[in-house]
Amino acid sequence: MRFSKWAIVTFLMVGLLAMAGAVYAQDQKKLTGKLEIFSWWAGNEGPALQALINLYESKYPDVKVINATVAGGSGINAKAVLKTRMLGGNPPDSFQVHAGQELIGTWVVAHRMEDLTWMFKQQGWLDVFPKNLIDLISTKDGIWSVPVNIHRSNVLWYIPANLKKWGVTPPKTWDEFLQIAPKLQAQGIIPLALARTWTAEHLWESVALSVLGPDKWNALWKGELSFTSPDMIKVWDLFGKILKYTNSDASSLSWQQATDLVVNGKAAFNVMGDWAAGYMYTTLKLQPKKDFGWEASPGTDGVFMMLSDSFGLPIGAPDRDNAIAWLELLGSKEGQDTFNPLKGSISPRLDSDLSKYNVYSQSAAADWHKDTIVGSLVHGVVANERFMDGFATVMDMFLNSRNPEQAAKAAEAIALQSGIGK
Amino acid sequence: MRSRKDRVFSILVLFPSIVLLGIFVYWFIGQTIYISLTDWGKVAPLAAHPPIHFIGLENYKTLFTGILEGRFCQDLVNTFFFTLFFVLGSIVLGLFLAILLDREPKGKGVLRTLFLYPMSLSFIVTGTIWRWLLAPRGGINVLPRLVGLPALRFEWTNSRTQILQFDWQDIPKLTVLVVAAVLVLLAVRNLRRGRKWQGLFTGIPAIGLVLWYIFGGSLIPSAGLLFPERHGFNLAIIGIIIAAIWQFSGYTMALYLAGLRGIPEELREAARIDGCNEFQMYRRVALPLLKPITLSAVIILGHISLKTFDLVFAMTGPDHASTDMPSVLMFIRTFRGNQFAIGAAIAVVLFILVAMVVIPYLFSSLRRRSSE
Amino acid sequence: MNARFRLGRVVLYTLLGLLAVVYLTPIYMTLVTALKPAAEINLETAWNPPNHPYWASFVDAFTRMFPNLRNSIILTMFGTILSALLGSLNGYVLSKWRFRGANLIFTLMLFGMFIPYQIILIPLFQTLRTMHLYGGLPGLILAHVVYGIPITTLIFRNFYVQIPNEVVESASLDGAGFFGIYWRIVFPLSWLGMVVVIIWQFTQIWNDFLFGVTLTSHEWQPITVALAYLAGGQAVQWNLPMAGSILAALPPLLIYIIFGRYFIRGLLAGSVKG
C-alpha cells in the first residue's frame, strides 16, 4: 500500500489552494446589486464623497453605487426627502446623519436603525475611536452609526497680519475679548463677525462651553443642570454682551460672508467650525498659519467640541450586505484617510495617517488626541432635532429682545418638551 | 342638444379630474386635518407605527397661546401685512406699467417682454438674487457710491424695527372693534338706500357692540396669554415685498394691458370728444371697466402670497422671525423638528386663511354663473 | 399742443427707461457674479464688473446640469401638454354642456388650486408609492398634471364661454356629436387659450423644486434639483449657481419672448375675467 508521496502532496496542495480560494473569496465578498447612499454633500464637498465611492467601487466592482444627494436649504431639503421616504417605506441603503442625538433622538427611538456594536467589535473600532466619542454616539442599547469625519466647532479665526496692524492678540478668554473689542471698534473694525441665526447659535455654544466647562456642559444635556440655573443666565448675559460687538447686518450674511469680513480686514475675529479652514484654504487660496490663524475659542482651550458626519444602517435597507460593506469601508483607516483630506475635516481614528492632511488638520488632529471631547449642540450631537428646531426660535427671540431670563425660560420650556436628559 | 348621451359623456370627461382631485386634494386635506387633531410628533414620530393619540384642538390652542409659538402669531401678522402690500403694490405697479405701455411707445414689444420676464424665474432664484441685492453691506445700498454719492443705510431684511404695534392680548378687543365698524358701515349704507329692515338689523348690533367696547371694554376677555405679546408690522418684510412685486407686477401688467386693449376705441374717442384729457380718460372710463380684472388679480395674487415659501426661505433662511411666514414655519416644524401634528395644524390654519379669501369670490362667481 | 405732446413723450420714455433699469438690475447682478471666478466674489464689490470674464462657470454649470436637462424637458413637455388637454376638455364640458351640479363641480375643482404644496408632500409621496409611480418621471408628471387641473380648467372654461352658443348649436344640427363638436369647432379655436395655459404651466412645472426633489430617484431629477446642488456645499462658489440659474432660466425666458404677445392676446380673449 504505497500511498504515492505525490498523491499526498497533490492532495495537500489542492486542499491548501481550495482553502486559500475560499478565504480569498470571503475577503472579496462577491457583492452585487446596488447601493444607494443618501447625503446632503454637494458643491465642494462632492469630491470627498466621490473619492469614497470610487474606493468602494474599486473593491466591489459589481455593485452599482447611486449617489442620491439632496442639496439646498441648509440640509432641511435633505431631511424632508429622507423623512418622506422613510415614512413612505422606502429607506435608502445608508444615509448621512450627524452622529449623536440627531440620529438617536429621531431614528433610534423610532426603532429604525440597526445596532452596530457587532461591527465595532469585529473591526476593532472600540480601540481606535476615542472613548468620549463612542459614548456620545451610543445609548445603552447599542452603537448606532459609523463616524466618518470630525469637525471642530469651537475655533476662533483671525488674520495674523491684521491683528498685528491693529495691535491686538487673540483673546484667551471672553473677558479679554470684551476689553480689546472697544479698542477695535474705535478703529472702525468689527470685533467679531457674525452671520445668520445658526451662526449665532454656533457662537452661543462656544460661549456656553467657556462659562460652564466640559463637565457642566455634559450635565446640562443629561438633565442634571437646569436651563434656568444661574450658570445659564450667566451664559446668556455674557452672550448678550458679546453680541454688542458683532456686525449689525449679521442676518443678511451667509457664514462665508462673515469669514470674508475677517479676510478683508473689516472684522477681527470669527468663531466658526473648522470648515472655515477649508473655505479659506481651498476657495480663497490662503495658507494656514501664514495667511490665517486660529485658536480654540476663548475660554475653551483644551476642550474639543466636536461634530461628526456619520452613516448608519436603516432597518430594512434594500441592499443590506452592500450597505454593511460601505460602513466597514467608512470606518476603515483607508476610507477615512481618503475622504477627510478632501473634505477638510479630520478622521476620528486615533491611528490616522496625518501626513495626508494639511497644516490646519494636523493641528486639529493633535488637539483631538489630547483634548477633552464634548459634543456640539448646533450640529446634532447632544440634543435631538425637536430641541434644536425650537432652540433656533429661542435664539432668534434673544437676538431681538436680548433678554437673558426670557431666553433661559424659553430654552427650559423646549428642553422639557423635547425630553432632554430622559 | 342636451341628450342623455351627452350628459353621460360630460360626466365621463370630467370623471378622471374629479377622481384625481378628490384623492390628491380633498382626501389629503382630510388627512391633514385628522393629523392636526392628534399628537403625532410627541413620541418617536418617525417610527413605522408611531404612537398617535387623538387630542382634539390642543394643537390649535398651543399655536395661538403657547409661549413658544409667539412666532406663529407673528407669522400670521407678517403674512397679513405682506399680502396687503404685495397685492396692492403689484396691482398699482402693474396698472401703471400697463397704462404706460398703452401709450404705444416705441420698443413696446421689448419693454413688455422685459417687464414680463421675472415671472419666468423660479421663486428660489429670485429670492437668492434679491438676498444679494438687499444685503446692507453690498447690493442696493452701495449703488449710490457708483455715482459718487454716499451709500444708503437701509437695513432691509435685517431690520428689527416694528411699527403699528399691538398686543396679541388685545386681539379679541380689536376684533370686536373691527366687526362693529363693519356693521356700522353696512347699517349706514342700508339706511341710505332706504332699506329699513336691513338697516335696523345691522344697525342695532353695531350700536350694541360700540357701546360694549366703550363701556364694558375691560369685560372683553383677553387672549389668555401669560405675558403681553407685542406684534406689529416688521419693516423687514419690505424687502420681501419688493422682491415679490418685482416678480409679479409683469403678470398684473399683462392682465391690465389685455383689459385696456379690450376697451373699445369708440369709448375712448367719446371721452376725448367730451373734453377729457388722457389722465381723466383713464380715471373715469378705463379704470371702472377694469374692475373685474382687478378682482381676479387680487384673488390670484392673494393666494400666491399666502402660500409663499420659496421666496422667503431663499431670502432670509429658516429662522428669521421678522420675515417668517406660516408656510416656512410649517415646513421646518414638520421636517426639522419632527412635529408633524403641529405642522398639520399650521397647514390647516393656512387653509382657512386662503379659504376666507377665496370662498367669497368663488361663491359670488358661482352665483353669477348660475344666472348666466 | 405739439410741445405738450413731446413733453408727454419725454416723461413717458424717462419713466419707462427708469423702470427698465430697475427691472434689469437683478439680472445684471446675476450675470456679473456668474462671470467672476470664485475668489473674486465679494458682497462689497458685487456691482463691479469682472476683471476678466470667467466663462468657465457657465461651462461647468452646463456640464453638471446637462443630464437633468433631459428630465426637465420630458417632464415639462408631457406635463404641460397633458394638463392643457385635460383642462381643455374640462373647460369644454363646463362651458358648453351645463348640467345640474356642473357649477358646483367647477367650484370644487377650483378650490384645489389654493392648497400649499408642503402640506401634501407626505401623503402625496405615500400615494404615489402605493401606485408604484414613485421614483420616475410618470409619477412626477401625474402630480403636476393633477395640481394643474384647476388652473387650466379655469382658463379654458373662461375662454370657451366666449364662443357663441349658436356656433355650437348649428354644428350639432349639422350632425356633430359631443366629441365631434369639440374636435371640429372648439379645439381649433383654442389656440390662444392654449398659449396662456402652456406659458403658465411650463413656467410652473419647469421651476418646481419641491416635487421634483421628493418624488423622483436620483437619475430622474429635474434641473431645479441640479441647480440646488450647485449652490450646496459648505463653501458655496457663487459663480456656479448664478451661472446655473441663468442657464436654467433660459427655456422659460425663451417661451416668454416668443409667445409673450400671444399671452396677452390670450388673456384678452376672456381668460382674464374671473
| Interface residues from chain A to B (CB-CB < 8 Å) | 73-74, 76, 79-80, 83, 86-87, 89, 106-107, 109-112, 196-198, 248-253, 257, 385-386, 388-390, 392-397, 399-400, 409-410, 413-414, 417
Q: Look up cell 389685455; give the residue.
A: B258
DSSP-derived 3-state class of residue C32: helix
Best residue in B65, B225, B338, B346 for a mutation probing chain A (most A CBs within 10 Å): B338
Single-letter amino acid code for the residue at C272: V
CA atoms of A368 and A359, how far apart (whole Å): 14
Which of B56-65, B144-153, B165-174, C73-82 tops mean pLDDT? Answer: C73-82
For chain A, the domains span 24-149+308-362, 152-306+377-418
Please list, in sequence order, all residues whose beta carbon lies within 8 angstroms of the beta carbon of residue A24, skipping any fewer than 6 positions away: none
CA angle B138/B141/B147 to nearest 5° reads: 105
Contact B246 C112 (CB under 8 A): no
Q: Do residue B119 and residue B80 come from a single domain?
A: yes
Q: In what order do the strands lie in the sheet with A267-271?
A: A190-193, A267-271, A155-158, A293-296
| Interface residues from chain B to A (CB-CB < 8 Å) | 41, 43-48, 50, 67-68, 70-71, 131, 134-137, 155-158, 160, 313, 316-322, 331-339
Q: Do residue B121 and residue B174 come from a single domain?
A: no
Q: What residues in A contact B134, CB-CB < 8 Å?
A: 252
Kindly identify which residue of chain A lies nearest to residue C122, measuring between CA atoms.
Answer: A84
Torsion of CA C261, C264, C266, C270, to 10 degrees: -160
The closest alpha carbon to A309, from A344, A267, A270, A282, belongs to A344
Q: What residues in B contact C110, CB-CB < 8 Å?
A: 362
Cβ distance A67 to A49 under 8 Å?
yes
CA atoms of B51 and A109, how far apart (whole Å): 12
DSSP-derived 3-state class of residue A81: helix
Closest chain A C-alpha to C257 CA, distance in angstroms: 30
Q: Is the pLDDT of residue B370 over 70?
A: no
Rama region for B113: left / alpha / beta (φ>0; ψ in -120 to 50; rest): alpha
Contact C44 A264 (CB under 8 A): yes
Contact C235 A279 (CB under 8 A): yes
CA atoms of C218 and A42, how far apart (whole Å): 14
Cβ distance C255 to C245 under 8 Å?
no
> How far apart, in Å, are the Cα atoms of A175 and each of A168, A191, A231, A233, B106?
14, 13, 16, 17, 67
The closest alpha carbon to B354, from B313, B316, B302, belongs to B302
For chain C, the domains span 55-271
Q: Look up cell 402690500; give the residue.
A: B85
As to burial, measured by CB atoms within 10 angstroms (0-12 exposed, 13-18 middle, 19+ buried), residue C47 is middle
The closest alpha carbon to C57, from A267, A43, A42, belongs to A43
- Supply the CATH classification number for the domain C55-271: 1.10.3720.10
Please list, in sequence order, all residues whose beta carbon lies within 8 angstroms of the beta carbon of residue B55, skipping any fewer than 6 positions away: B37, B38, B39, B341
> How far apart, in Å, are the Cα atoms of A365 and each of A155, A202, A288?
13, 21, 15
CA atoms of B159 and B138, how far apart (whole Å): 15
Put simply, whether B153 touches C (Cβ < 8 Å) is no
Closest chain B C-alpha to C97 CA, distance in angstroms: 7
Q: Which chains touch A (3 or more CB pairs under 8 A)?
A: B, C
C-alpha cell at A414: 423646549
> Residue by residue, what is the 3-state secondary structure of B186-251?
HHHHHHHCCCHHHHHHHHHHHHHHHHHHHHCHHHCCCCCCCCCCEEEEECCHHHHHHHHHHHHHHH
Q: What residues in C contact B340, CB-CB < 8 Å?
A: 122
Tell me whether the CATH fold assigned to A24-149+308-362 matches the one assigned to A152-306+377-418: yes
Q: Do residue B182 and residue B150 come from a single domain?
A: no
Q: Do residue B193 and residue B77 come from a single domain?
A: no
Beta bridge partners of A146: A311
Kindly identify which residue of chain A lies nearest to residue C238, measuring between CA atoms.
Answer: A43
B292: in domain: yes
Contact A43 C235 (CB under 8 A): yes
Single-letter amino acid code for the residue at C208: D
Q: Do residue B270 and residue B283 come from a single domain?
A: yes
Closest chain A C-alpha to B318 CA, distance in angstroms: 8
Beta-carbon-side half-sphere exposure of residue B71 (alpha carbons within 13 Å)? 30
Residue that is last in its domain, among B210, B234, B258: B234
Longest CA span, chain B: 77
Which of A45, A80, A283 minimises the CB distance to C214? A80
Put simply, whether A74 touches C (Cβ < 8 Å) is no
Range with the poorest average pLDDT among B88-97, B282-291, B298-307, C212-221 = B282-291
Closest chain A C-alpha to C205 CA, distance in angstroms: 19
B80: in domain: yes
Per DSSP, helices labelled H in C174-238 are 178-181, 191-207, 210-215, 223-230
Neighbours of A222 (CB within 10 A): 12
CA atoms of A345 and A322, how far apart (whole Å): 26
Residue C49 DSSP symbol: P
pLDDT, tens digit (0-9, with 9 covering 90-100), for B239-288:
899 999 999 998 899 888 888 887 778 887 887 788 777 777 777 777 77
Neighbours of C22 (CB within 10 A): 11
The closest alpha carbon to C228, from C250, C251, C212, belongs to C212
Looking at residue C271, its pLDDT comes to 46
Q: Do residue B96 and residue B172 come from a single domain?
A: no
Q: Is the pLDDT of residue B186 over 50?
A: yes
Q: Find the domain containing B333 and state its range.
A: 73-161+240-338
Cβ distance B101 to B258 under 8 Å?
no
CA atoms of A211 and A224, how far apart (whole Å): 16
Q: What residues in C contact B79, CB-CB < 8 Å?
A: none
Q: What residues in A contact B336, CB-CB < 8 Å?
A: 76, 79, 385, 388-389
Kindly identify which residue of chain B lies nearest to residue A201, measuring between CA atoms.
Answer: B319
CA atoms of B229 and B219, how far apart (whole Å): 19
Q: Do residue B253 and residue B156 come from a single domain?
A: yes
CA atoms of B125 and C29, how far apart (whole Å): 12
Q: Is the pLDDT of residue B168 over 90?
A: no
What is the rounded average pLDDT for all residues in chain B? 80
Please list, in sequence order, all residues whose beta carbon lies within 8 angstroms of the beta carbon of residue C68, skipping any fewer than 6 positions away: C221, C222, C223, C225, C226
C-alpha cell at B77: 401678522
Single-letter amino acid code for the residue at B2: R
Closest chain B C-alpha to C188 CA, distance in angstroms: 19
Could you list the pLDDT tens digit for every one of the 274 residues in chain C? 455 567 778 888 888 888 888 888 888 888 888 888 877 777 777 777 888 888 888 888 888 888 889 899 999 999 999 999 999 999 888 887 777 777 788 888 888 877 777 778 878 888 888 888 888 889 999 999 999 999 898 888 888 877 787 887 887 777 777 788 888 778 887 888 888 888 889 988 999 888 888 888 888 889 888 888 777 666 677 888 888 888 888 998 888 888 877 877 777 665 444 3
Q: Do residue B248 and residue B333 come from a single domain?
A: yes
**If you classify domain A24-149+308-362 with CATH, what class do you get?**
alpha beta
B225: in domain: yes
Q: Do residue B208 and residue B174 come from a single domain?
A: yes
Put simply, whether B296 touches C (Cβ < 8 Å) is yes
> Residue by residue, what is the 3-state secondary structure of chain B?
CCCHHHHHHHHHHHHHHHHHHHHHHHHHHHHHHHHHCECCCCCCCCCCCCCCCECCCHHHHHHHHCCCCHHHHHHHHHHHHHHHHHHHHHHHHHHHHHHHHHCCCCCHHHHHHHHHHHHHCCHHHHHHHHHHHCCCCCHHHHHHHHCCCCCCCCCHHHCCCEEEEEEHHHHHHHHHHHHHHHHHHHHHHHHHCCCHHHHHHHHHHHHHHHHHHHHCHHHCCCCCCCCCCEEEEECCHHHHHHHHHHHHHHHHHHHHHHHHHCCCHHHHHHHHHCCCCHHHHHHHHHHHHCHHHHHHHHHHHHHHHHHCCHHHHHHHCCCCHHHCCHHHHHHHHHHCCCCHHHHHHHHHHHHHHHHHHHHHHHHHHHHHHHCC
Looking at residue A22, its pLDDT comes to 52
Domain with residues A152-306+377-418, CATH architecture: 3-Layer(aba) Sandwich (3.40)
Q: Do residue B110 and residue B251 come from a single domain?
A: yes
pLDDT, tens digit (0-9, with 9 covering 90-100), for B7-48:
788 888 889 999 999 999 999 989 889 989 998 888 888 887
CA atoms of A306 and A382, how far apart (whole Å): 10
- Per the model's pLDDT, the better-predicted residue between A32 and B176 turns out to be A32
Put simply, whether B294 touches C (Cβ < 8 Å) is no
Cβ distance C242 to C230 under 8 Å?
no
Residue that is last in its domain, among B213, B234, B255: B234
Q: Do residue B77 and residue B212 come from a single domain?
A: no
Looking at residue A305, its pLDDT comes to 95
Looking at residue C13, its pLDDT comes to 86
As to burial, measured by CB atoms within 10 angstroms (0-12 exposed, 13-18 middle, 19+ buried), residue A21 is exposed
Domain count, chain B: 2
Which residues of chain A, if any, have pLDDT below 50? 1, 25-26
B66: in domain: no
Please list, in sequence order, all residues whose beta carbon lies within 8 angstroms of the beta carbon of residue C175, skipping any fewer than 6 positions away: none
